C-alpha cells in the first residue's frame, strides 16, 4: 500500500466511485426526463426475411406519427430507434442492450422473429423496461410460466391459437368434402415442424378420419421444390397442409402451378394470406385455403381500411401480418402512456398493460385484449378464407369462435404443464 501524498484514501475512492456512477447513469436519467420518448426496435432488416423488419418498422413509424400529431403523451413525443439484428439471436440481444444502455431507449418493441425474440426476452429480464414482442408466434414465449418476465408482453398471433383455428376449419372442410388422405410440405426447422404437428393434432381431433399419407420437409430457403411437388404427384393426397412462408411459399406455388398440382389437391396454408405473398404469386389458383394473416377487407371496419391506406401510403405495398401486429402494439403502448401521463418506468407501464382492452379495427369483435394472466394478445382475427385470383385475393373468411380457441388452449396448457 502506498502512503504517498498522491495516494487515494478510502473515502476518496468511495466518493470517486459515486461520482463515476452518477456520470454513467446520467444519460438514462436525462433520457427519462427528455421530451422525446425513445423507443428501441431490434428487428430483421436484411437478408431473405427483411420484409418482416421493414414492414414492422413502417407500421411503427406510421403509428408514432399519428400519435405525435395528436399531441403525444404528457408533452412527450415518440421516436423510433431501430437496429438490424440480421436475424441472429446473439445480435438481437446485443442491439437490445445497446438500445437501452447507450441509445437511451425507454421502451422496446421487439420486432424479432421467434429465435431473436427469446434472446430479447432474456435481456429485458435483466433490464426491466417495457418490452412488447410483436413478431414471435412461438406459443411458449408467453405460455410457459418459467419464461415469464414482468415487463414483457406479446402483441402477435401465436401458434396454438392458429393451430386450433386451423384444425377447426380444416376438419370442417375435410368432413364436407371427404378429404381423408393428407400430405404436408413444411420447412425443415423448429417452426415448420411444430406448426405442422399442432395443425395436424387439432385437425385430427375434430376429424379422426384424417390420415397423413406422407410428409416432406424441404430445407428453409430452398430455391427449388420440384422434387417435393413431383412426390406429391406420386402420393396423390386429397389435401395438403403447408407451413411454408414468404419467398419460399411463392416459389413453391409457382413451381406447383407448372404441374397443375392444386386444382387436384386442396391446399391449406398457414401463410398464404400474407398480402406480399399473394401479390408476388403471378398465377394465384382460386379456392386455396389460407389462414388470415392480413386483409384490408377483414375485419370489415373503417379503422382497418384506414390503417391499410395509411400504411400502404408509406410502404407502397399492402400491410403484412407483422405490420398490423406492430401497429396494434403501438396502440397498446400509446394507451398505457396516456394512462401514466408519459411516465415510462417498465413496472408502471406493465401495470397498465395487464388486462388492457382497446378498441381496434383489427379486433374480431369490438376490442383487443392484452390478457392479464400471460401477457398475450387475444381477440385478433384467426379466420380462414379462400383465395381468389384478384384483389383482395382472399375472401369468404370463416371466423373461428375465440371461446373455442381459448377452451382448447387451456387444455393444451394443462398438457404442456403450463397451467
Partner 1 sequence: MNLDVLAGCVTTASCFVTQVSTGLIVGMLLFLVASGLSLIFGVLGVVNFAHGVFYMLGAYFAFAAYEVTGSFILALLAGAAGAGLLGIVFERFFMSRVYGRDLLMQLLVCYAAILICDDLVKIVFGADYKLMGMPESFAAAPVEVMGGFIPGYYIFMLAMALGIGAVLWLGINRTRLGKIIRALAINPQMVGALGINTRLLYAAVFGMGCVLAGTAGALAAPVRTLTPGMGLSVLIESFIVTVIGGMGSIPGALVAAVLIGLTRAFGAIGFPLFTDGLMFALMGLVLILRPSGLLGTRTA
| Residue 35 · residue 76 · CB < 8 Å | yes
259 binds partner 1 (CB under 8 A): yes
Distance between CA atoms of residues 60 and 41, nearest Å: 9
Distance between CA atoms of residues 294 and 283, nearest Å: 20
Binding mask 274-293 for partner 1 (x = CB under 8 A): --x---xxxx----------
What 3-state class would DSSP assign to 164? helix
Among 37, 39, 41, 51, indicate the residue that binds partner 1 (CB under 8 A).
51
Distance between CA atoms of residues 250 and 244, nearest Å: 9
Among 27, 47, 342, 392, indicate the residue that binds partner 1 (CB under 8 A).
47
Q: How far is the CB of 139 from partner 1 (least distance, A)?
A: 25
Binding mask 104-123 for partner 1 (x = CB under 8 A): --------------------
| Residue 268 · residue 212 · CB < 8 Å | no
33 binds partner 1 (CB under 8 A): no
Residues with Cβ < 8 Å from 20, sequence gap 6 or more?
none
189 binds partner 1 (CB under 8 A): no
Instruction: Kindly indicate which of the ranges 6-14, 67-75, 211-219, 335-343 contains the residues binding partner 1, using the contact rule CB under 8 A.
Output: 211-219
Instruction: Kindly indicate which of the ranges 19-27, 141-149, 155-163, 225-233 contains the residues binding partner 1, using the contact rule CB under 8 A.
Output: 225-233
Distance between CA atoms of residues 215 and 203, nearest Å: 15
Instruction: Kindly indicate which of the ranges 150-158, 174-182, 273-281, 379-387 contains the residues binding partner 1, using the contact rule CB under 8 A.
Output: 273-281
Among 18, 32, 233, 406, indicate the residue that binds partner 1 (CB under 8 A).
233
**Cβ neighbours of 391 (radius 10 Å):** 13
237 binds partner 1 (CB under 8 A): no
* DSSP H/E element including 58: helix 50-69
Among 101, 102, 226, 373, indicate the residue that binds partner 1 (CB under 8 A).
226
Distance between CA atoms of residues 364 and 263, nearest Å: 31
Among 12, 16, 71, 223, indicate the residue that binds partner 1 (CB under 8 A).
223
CA trace torsion 9, 11, 13, 14 (10° rounding): 160
Distance between CA atoms of residues 291 and 289, nearest Å: 7
Residues in contact with partner 1 by CB under 8 A are 45-48, 50-51, 54, 214-217, 219, 221-224, 226-228, 230-231, 233-234, 246-248, 250-251, 254-255, 257-260, 276, 280-283
Amino acid at each position: 500500500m502506498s502512503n504517498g501524498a498522491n495516494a487515494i484514501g478510502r473515502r476518496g475512492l468511495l466518493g470517486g466511485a459515486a461520482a463515476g456512477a452518477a456520470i454513467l447513469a446520467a444519460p438514462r436519467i436525462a433520457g427519462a426526463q427528455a421530451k422525446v420518448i425513445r423507443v428501441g426496435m431490434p428487428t430483421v432488416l436484411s437478408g431473405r426475411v427483411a420484409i418482416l423488419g421493414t414492414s414492422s418498422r413502417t407500421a411503427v413509424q406510421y403509428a408514432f406519427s399519428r400519435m405525435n400529431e395528436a399531441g403525444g403523451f404528457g408533452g412527450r413525443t415518440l421516436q423510433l430507434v431501430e437496429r438490424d439484428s440480421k436475424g441472429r439471436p446473439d445480435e438481437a440481444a446485443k442491439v437490445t442492450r445497446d438500445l437501452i444502455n447507450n441509445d437511451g431507449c425507454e421502451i422496446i418493441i421487439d420486432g424479432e422473429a421467434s429465435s431473436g425474440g427469446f434472446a430479447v426476452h432474456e435481456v429485458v429480464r435483466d433490464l426491466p423496461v417495457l418490452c412488447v414482442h410483436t413478431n414471435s408466434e412461438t406459443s411458449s414465449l408467453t405460455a410457459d410460466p418459467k419464461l415469464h418476465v414482468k415487463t414483457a408482453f406479446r402483441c402477435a398471433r401465436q401458434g396454438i391459437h392458429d393451430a386450433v383455428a386451423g384444425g377447426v376449419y380444416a376438419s370442417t372442410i375435410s368432413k364436407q368434402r371427404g378429404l381423408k388422405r393428407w400430405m404436408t410440405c413444411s420447412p425443415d426447422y423448429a417452426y415448420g415442424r411444430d406448426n405442422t404437428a399442432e395443425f395436424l393434432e387439432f385437425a385430427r381431433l375434430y376429424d379422426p378420419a384424417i390420415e397423413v399419407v406422407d410428409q416432406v420437409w424441404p430445407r428453409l430457403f430452398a430455391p427449388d421444390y420440384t422434387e417435393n411437388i413431383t412426390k406429391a404427384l406420386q402420393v396423390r393426397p386429397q389435401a395438403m397442409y403447408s407451413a411454408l412462408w414468404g419467398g419460399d411459399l411463392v416459389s413453391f406455388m409457382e413451381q406447383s402451378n407448372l404441374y397443375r398440382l392444386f386444382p387436384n389437391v386442396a391446399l391449406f396454408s398457414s401463410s398464404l394470406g400474407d398480402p406480399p405473398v399473394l401479390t408476388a404469386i403471378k398465377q394465384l389458383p382460386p379456392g386455396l385455403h389460407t389462414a388470415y394473416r392480413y386483409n384490408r377487407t377483414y375485419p370489415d371496419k373503417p379503422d382497418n381500411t384506414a390503417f391499410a391506406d395509411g400504411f400502404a401510403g408509406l410502404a407502397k405495398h399492402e400491410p403484412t401480418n407483422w405490420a398490423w401486429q406492430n401497429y396494434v402494439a403501438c396502440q397498446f403502448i400509446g394507451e398505457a402512456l396516456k394512462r401514466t401521463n408519459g411516465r415510462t418506468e417498465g413496472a408502471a407501464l406493465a401495470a397498465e398493460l395487464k388486462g388492457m382492452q382497446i378498441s381496434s379495427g383489427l379486433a374480431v369483435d369490438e376490442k383487443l385484449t392484452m390478457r392479464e394472466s400471460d401477457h398475450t394478445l387475444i381477440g385478433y382475427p384467426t379466420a380462414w378464407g379462400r383465395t381468389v385470383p384478384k384483389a383482395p385475393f382472399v375472401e369468404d373468411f370463416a371466423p373461428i369462435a375465440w371461446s373455442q380457441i381459448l377452451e382448447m388452449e387451456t387444455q393444451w396448457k394443462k398438457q404442456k404443464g403450463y397451467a
